[in-house]
Amino acid sequence: MHELIAAPYLDHHLLVRPGNPKAARVPASRYDELHSASGTSAVPAWLADVARQAWKIDLSDRRLDETVLVRSRSPYAYGRASYELNLGCNYDCEHCYLGLKQFAGLEWPERERLLHAIRDSGVLWLQLTGGEPMIDKLFPETYRLAYELGMMVEILTNGSRLAAPKNLALLTRLRPNRITLSLYGATAESYDGLTRRRGAYRMFVKGLDAAHEAGLPLDLALIITRHNAHEADQMRAFAGRYDLPYREYTHMSPTIYGGAETLATQAPDHLADREPFNGCNAGHTFFHVDPHGMATICKVGRDEAIPIMTTGVEGLSRLGGIADSLMLRTGGCTGCQLSGTCRVCRPLAKVYQEAKAPLDRYCQHATTRS
């Protein structure tokens, strides 16, 4: 299996190592040299130097085809994507924006085609998510193929299946770029209460301990809702005990079906200010794919989905135009005088507006406007 990936990434060229956050930028001429080299040739001296400096690995005297997977240029120039394997989940969080969380996903032949299309679109960093991706029956095959195709794979998980020996062996052998575990509370009482699943905290800690012990690259997403806000400091301390980086999430979104029921789970006193919205490359440099192979500009802006299984990778050429039109829709914000300092993008505002959410749930200018 490859030690390094050489790939075009947006308008430059990178060398990356699966399971390692470091990337080395190389001139186009170096990438071309690798791309046109015969597989059986030796690793060039300059590449062995880069590998030694960046990742402390010795590739001298090794064959190129045994060590470096050289990705081809793509006319689509995407760099990142997320793929929701299946909306099904073994938890039932009240805040979950997936709403019904229906179990459904592509069978293997379609999934194989989808992963090839994602690779052909130029994607180098691929996030596997769900639902809970690791309960999907084809998770191991999906992960392995994404890895073998030369994508740097990140997994978004609730951690409940991380301790399973089969999963642990796979992820230790083919290291992911990152595993992000959601943390739903600092005690079994609040964690199991929020996820509405007895024993969920125990499974989470078991998975986290196993992955931590195996040295896998982990970080935490602290989900702070009205159920666990009283434990926010304990959740930060929990991350500290494992010495893991973390991000906090306090804004709950309406469901992908337009339901507002999730909004009541927000802890109003803990809502963090959003960053000002300064534009976004959704649909241009990254995209999202749902369990049925429908591609959208991102997880939030799910309008005008492209059926990749029918169109193939070529269908993605329409995504940029779709993104531009979604960004121009003003919807319920028409005429707002404060749009220059708005902190929500148009697709996100639309989701809240369709769910008939109160203005103060998504607009930081709510008081001024009303």
Based on the shown chain and the rule CB under 6 A, indicate whether residue 134 belongs to the binding site for ligand SF4. Answer: no
Provide, rounded to whole angstroms, the least separation between the CB of residue 54 and ligand SF4: 30
Is 345 a binding residue for ligand SF4 by CB under 6 A? The answer is yes
Taking contact as CB under 6 A, which single stretch among the options 34-42, 56-64, 264-272, 345-353 is the one that binds ligand SF4?
345-353
The reply to whether 155 sits near ligand SF4 by the rule CB under 6 A is no
Q: Could you tell me the smallest distance in angstroms from the CB atom of residue 107 to ligand SF4?
A: 22
The distance of closest approach from Cβ of residue 132 to ligand SF4 in the complex, given in angstroms and rounded to an integer, is: 5
Smaller CB separation from ligand SF4, 67 or 285: 285
Q: Which of 5, 98, 316, 363 binds ligand SF4 (CB under 6 A)?
A: 98
Q: Is 122 in the site for ligand SF4 (CB under 6 A)?
A: no
Q: What share of the chain is helix, strand, coil (3-state, %, to 5)?
A: 40, 15, 45
Question: What pairs with residue 154 in β-bridges?
Answer: 127, 178
Establish if 151 lies at the interface with ligand SF4 (CB under 6 A): no
Query: Shortest approach of ligand SF4 to residue 87 CB, angstroms?
Result: 8
Q: Work out the number of other CB atoms within 10 angstroms of the CB of residue 157.
A: 25
The answer to whether residues 6 and 15 touch, using CB atoms and an 8 Å cutoff, is yes
Q: Extract the tokens encoding 52.
A: 């030694």
The three-state secondary structure class of 7 is strand
**Ramachandran class of 241: left when φ > 0, alpha when ψ lies in -120 to 50, beta otherwise:** alpha
Considering only the stretches 21-29, 125-133, 136-144, 330-338, report the one whose residues sit in contact with ligand SF4 under the rule CB under 6 A.
Answer: 125-133
- What's the min distance (Å) between Cβ of 139 and ligand SF4? 14
Binding ligand SF4 by CB under 6 A: which of 84, 132, 136, 290? 132
Token readout for 262 is 């999730």
CA dihedral of 112, 114, 116, 117, whole degrees rounded to 10: 160
Token pair, residue 266, equals 């927000």
Q: Based on the shown chain and the rule CB under 6 A, indicate whether residue 347 belongs to the binding site for ligand SF4.
A: yes
Residue 308, token pair as written in the block: 């990749």
Q: Which range of residues in 53-61, 133-141, 265-273, 293-301 is near ligand SF4 by CB under 6 A?
A: 293-301
Residue 84 found at the interface with ligand SF4 (CB under 6 A): no
**248 SS3 class:** strand
Please tell me the distance from the alpha carbon of residue 157 to that of residue 161, in angstroms, as a whole number.
9
Cβ-based burial of 111 (10 A; exposed 0-12, middle 13-18, buried ≥19)? buried
Residues that bind ligand SF4 (CB under 6 A): 89, 91-93, 96, 98, 101, 130-132, 158, 182, 195, 280, 282, 298, 300-301, 345, 347-348
